[in-house]
Structures are given as structure tokens and as C-alpha cells.
Structure 1
Amino acid sequence: MEVGHGRAWIDQDAGVRIGYTLAEPAGTPQESGKTVLLVHGAPQTRYAWRKVLIPLAEAGYRVVAPDYRDAGASTKPRDGYDKWTMAADLHTLLHDHLGIDGPVSVVGHDLGSMLAFGYALRYRDDVVSLTTMEAPLPGTGYYEQRKIAKSAWHFDFHAHPDIAVHLTHGRERWYITRFFDDLTYQPDAITGDDIDVYARAFEAPGAMRALCEIYRELDHDAAVHRDAVASGGKLTVPVLASGGGAQTLAANYQPMCEEIADNVTGHLVPDAGHWVPEENPDHFTRMFLDFDATARTR
């Protein structure tokens, strides 16, 4: 088992550098031809996948867990936070920097699901399967309903970066803790030490501003995704619509994905709230492996 970390220049002119973790099974992982891309959500970094990296690598996958632009070890440029551009960052990381050949399985959580969806639309031939968890996907009717709900207040708040950054400055740890307190079902799944990791990431200069830019682009993303579905049709790769079984919103995810994909499987993770891979990593791993194995036989 090999686990390593790196930072890759994606666009030196624009100053875009992406941090990532790469976990590989022992031997020559290229022979298996299986790669999974794990795209974290917010307010998190690739650290969110820490409990599933090794189990997935032990199952024979090359596992790539990047920090998308803004997060963690990645740079925080002034722009480029639409999901089409952010998907290009990850595609360049995989195929140009890491030299991965062939299509990959793409897994997203929270904002990462929105980005994973954009990736699957932009690079249809380079995706084996798509797993989405815990997010309304821009371009769907459910996204339009969800973004105006009272409990989704942070969509509008973050879409005004000057206000959000001013009000959260110096209070980043308190602010992000609120999301974990409200959305966690397993109280011991995310510890104070884990919160420290995330808090340090969003206390970094430019991090909160860049996070807000990701949200500010969501309505634009919705228009781009709708156009992509209208011109290219629904996704034909297998799609797993998942979320924490303890979340009341999770029942919406399968019908949402059926709006944008022909082959959708719904599977909720028991004993988990919003933070699925941290709250029930064993079930998440089994769920993904079973789903992806079936997807790869198509």
C-alpha cells in the first residue's frame, strides 16, 4: 500500500496549483485499470476522505483525492470557480499530471457532487460511473427548489462574498463548526482535532472568499449544466444517488438524479447524517464497491 501527497501545476499563468493525495494498492495498480476520483465538499478539504482511502486502495483502486481550487493545499485564484472550469482542473490533474489512462469512477460529496456532475457532463467519455451524495445538483428542478429553502440560507449568504467574508473573519472555526453540529448524526465521527484541520484551512488568506465564489457561480453552473443535457442528452453512465439515511432530504436524491441520467441507483447510507464518508465509512465503501463493480460490467 502506497499513500503519497503532491501539488500539481494546472495553469501556471493563472496561478492554479492543485494539492492531492494518491493512494495505490501494492504492486502495479495500472494493471487493474481502476481509478476513483474523490471530490470533497464544504467546508472541508480532501481530509474528508481519510477513512476510505486505504480501504478503496486495498480493493484494487488507484485513489485520487484532490483539494479543488480554493480548498486546503490548492491555490485560491480570483476567478475560475464555475464547475466547468474546476472540472478541467481535475481532468488535467488526472490525465496530464498523474498520467492516468482511460475513464475513471467519479465520487462527489456536497459541493463536490456538484463539481463531479459537471465533470461527468464535460468529460462523458472519461467517466465509468458517477456517485453523488448530499447535494442538490445545479441544472435540476430540485436544485431550484432547494436553493430557496430557509435551511439553505448559506447559498444566498455565500453568494455575497464581501458580506460573508467580513462577518466570518476571525470566526472561521466557530462558523464551520455550526455546520458540523447541525448536520452530523454520529456525534463522535468528527472530532475537535478534525475541526481544527478544517478550521485552519478556512482561516488561510483567501479561503473563505474563494469558497463564496464557488457558491456565487452555482446559478451559472445550473444554466451550463442544463445546456449540456439539452445538447448532449442525459448522462448514460450509471449514477449512484446517495446520502445519509438520517437526513430527511435524502429521499429527494434519486428522483433528482433521474432528471439528468438514464441509469440511476438509489442507496442511502444508514446511521449517517450529511458527512457520509466520515460518519459511516465502512458502509460507504461497500456501497461504492458494489455499485462500481456493476457499472464496470456494462
Structure 2
Amino acid sequence: MVNGLRLHYVIAGSGDPLVLLHGWPQSWREWRHVIPELASRFTVIAPDMRGFGDSDKPSGGYDKRTVARDIRELVHVLGFREIHLAGHDLGMMVAYEYAASYPAEVRRLAVLEAGLPGLGLEAFLDTAKYPHLWHFGFFNAPGVAETLIAGREKLFLSHFIRHLAYDPYAVTGDDLDEYADRMSAPGALRASFEHYRAFPADALNNQENARKKLAMPVLGIGGDHSLGEHVGKLMEPLADQVSTAVVERSGHWVPEEQPEQLANLLTGFFTQP
């Protein structure tokens, strides 16, 4: 129980704490191929963010500042304070907020495959130019997306995930069953879309955060068939020390499409002095 709600998490390994934050429509499970390698060097903590997986799905609190507070309280309850932090997709947005709000508590930050509301994400909302990103507007329509998807979770997620993948079967049928099962829980679809509907509040918070650059080292990671170098370029104005990595033969779902490459990148980055 943290910040007024129940968060589900998994924990593995020993060493410096490393927190992994997932994206939409997933859960901690997206990291399962990466965790064993990382757990040989770190205490890996992979939570389900509010609204996802087996965590609670409250009516509000989906701005990334509140979600970052959830994760920070979990870290403290587990007995840690200074952490390494990595976030993918929506988890990238939460990770940036965490690092900006609690800079003394984040040693190193890795961000994967997303933009930031208020700091450039809006450029990708032009569906004429980026037709594969049509879902931003769809998810933002209150009540519409959940009504149309309810009862068809696996059908929708299969299309959505495979459309953004380099290897359309890296996210397996079992994975899709798991994600669809969690998304079919009462309130889960609505809760997951509330993360997108909080973007206007996130934009204001991010613009405030951007007034002070992050001091910790930052690694921006993109798939070569998705955002590529853009993630690192996005972070360059926001941090003093930014490096970029592009994962080969990967679309958007880097932790599941190329877990070995990603584990090696993260291990190398988070073990630097």
C-alpha cells in the first residue's frame, strides 16, 4: 500500500536498486526476459503502475507526477532511496517526472521509446504525417475507446502491438493473453486511458521541470524501426549528460523484441562509475 493505493510489483536479484517502468498496454511482464540478466547485478524492482496489471485502478491520479510519487513511495517502503531508473513508453514519462522531481534520488536514468507531453510529443499527434500514431487521439476520447474495445481486448491488442513491432511475434500469444486478461478486469481499460487523458497536466508539469536540466547521466534508447535516435535527441535539451543508443532489429517493444541487446545496454550504462 503506497500513496493511498495497492501496487503490485516483482523484485529479483541483489545489488544497487534498479526500477523498471512499463508502458501501455503492458505490465511488469514486458521486462521478464530482461530481468534475469539484470538481477545478476542489481536488485530489480518492476511494478505495475496504477491502472495496470494487478495494481489498483483508482478514479484519478494518472498525471505522471502522482504516478511517480507512487513509485517513489514503493521504493522507500522496500527500504531503498537512491535508485537507477528505466522507463519505456508511458513508463518513460513517469521516469522523467521521477528524475525531475527527486533528482538527488536517481543515480542514472534510461528512457525508451516515447516522447514527453509539452516537450515535443505534440509533433507526433499529426496523424496525416504519423498515421501509425492514430491511437493518441482515440485513447483521449472519454468513454469511447473503452466502449469500443471492451470484450475485444485481445483482438485490439494483437493489432496494436504487432502494428508497432519489427518482429510481430516477439510479443507471443501467451503474452497477448496475459495483457488482454489484465485489460479486461473491471475498470482497467478506463484506467489505462486515463494516463493519456492526463497529458495536458503532464505538459504543464514537464515544462516546469524543463527549466532545470537533469544532472544525472541519461541514456535515450530507441528501436531502429521505431524512434531510433529521436529519444536521445529529445533528452539533450533536458539533461547535462545524454547518450543515445539504437537497438537493432527492433520496433517499439524493445524489452520484448530485443531483450539481450537491451539487457547489455542497461547493464553497461548502470554499472558505469
Tell me which interval the TM-score lies in, with the shorter structure as reference length. over 0.9
1:198-245 deviation per Cα after TM superposition (whole angstroms, max 9, x unaligned): 000101110100111100001210111111222xx1111111111111
1:11-41 deviation per Cα after TM superposition (whole angstroms, max 9, x unaligned): 44xxx110000002xxxx3xx4x11000000
Q: CA deviation at 1:173?
A: 1.1
* Mapped partners of 1:219, 1:151: distance in 2: 21
Matched position secondary structure for 1:78? coil
1:121 aligns with 2:100: yes
Q: Which residue pairs with 1:10 in the alignment?
A: 2
Contact 2:84 2:108 in 1 (8 A): yes
* Mapped partners of 2:48, 2:62: distance in 1: 13
Q: Which residue pairs with 1:292 in the alignment?
A: 270
Q: CA deviation at 1:134?
A: 0.7
The range that moved more, 198-207 or 144-153, is: 144-153
Q: CA deviation at 1:50?
A: 0.5
Which fold has the larger relative contact order, with Cα–Cα distance below 8 Å and residues 6 or more apart in sequence?
Answer: 2
1:258 aligns with 2:236: yes
Q: Which residue pairs with 1:6 in the alignment?
A: none
Q: Which amino acid aligns with 2:88?
A: H
Q: Which residue pairs with 2:248 in the alignment?
A: 270
Q: 1:21 aligns with which of 1, 4, 10?
A: 10
1:54 aligns with 2:33: no
Q: CA deviation at 1:147?
A: 2.6
* Mapped partners of 1:224, 1:188: distance in 2: 37
Contact 2:3 2:73 in 1 (8 A): no
Unaligned runs of 5+ in 2: none
Matched position secondary structure for 2:271? helix
Q: CA deviation at 1:86?
A: 0.3
Q: Which amino acid aligns with 2:154?
A: R
1:112 aligns with 2:91: yes
Matched position secondary structure for 1:250? coil
1:69 aligns with 2:50: yes
1:90 aligns with 2:90: no
Contact 2:34 2:255 in 1 (8 A): yes
TM-score (norm 1): 0.88
The range that moved more, 154-163 or 180-189, is: 180-189
Matched position secondary structure for 2:37? helix
Q: Which amino acid aligns with 1:10?
A: V
Q: Which amino acid aligns with 2:218?
A: V
* Mapped partners of 1:229, 1:254: distance in 2: 15
1:99 aligns with 2:99: no
* Mapped partners of 1:49, 1:110: distance in 2: 13
* Mapped partners of 1:92, 1:64: distance in 2: 13
1:65-121 deviation per Cα after TM superposition (whole angstroms, max 9, x unaligned): 0000000110000000000000000000011x2111x41111011111111111111
Q: Which residue pairs with 1:5 in the alignment?
A: none
Q: CA deviation at 1:246?
A: 2.0
- Alignment CA distance shift 1:246-1:151 (3 Å): closer
Unaligned runs of 5+ in 1: 1-8
Q: Which residue pairs with 1:130 in the alignment?
A: 109
Q: 2:124 aligns with which of 146, 149, 167?
A: 146
Q: Which residue pairs with 1:40 in the alignment?
A: 22
Q: Which amino acid aligns with 1:67?
A: D
TM-score (norm 2): 0.95
Q: CA deviation at 1:54?
A: 1.2
Q: 1:228 aligns with which of 185, 192, 209?
A: 209
Q: Alignment length, in residue pairs?
A: 270
Contact 2:161 2:168 in 1 (8 A): no
* Mapped partners of 2:34, 2:3: distance in 1: 29
Q: CA deviation at 1:132?
A: 0.7
Consecutive aligned runs of 4 or more in structure 1 exceeding 3 Å deviation:
none
Matched position secondary structure for 1:223? helix
Matched position secondary structure for 1:243? strand
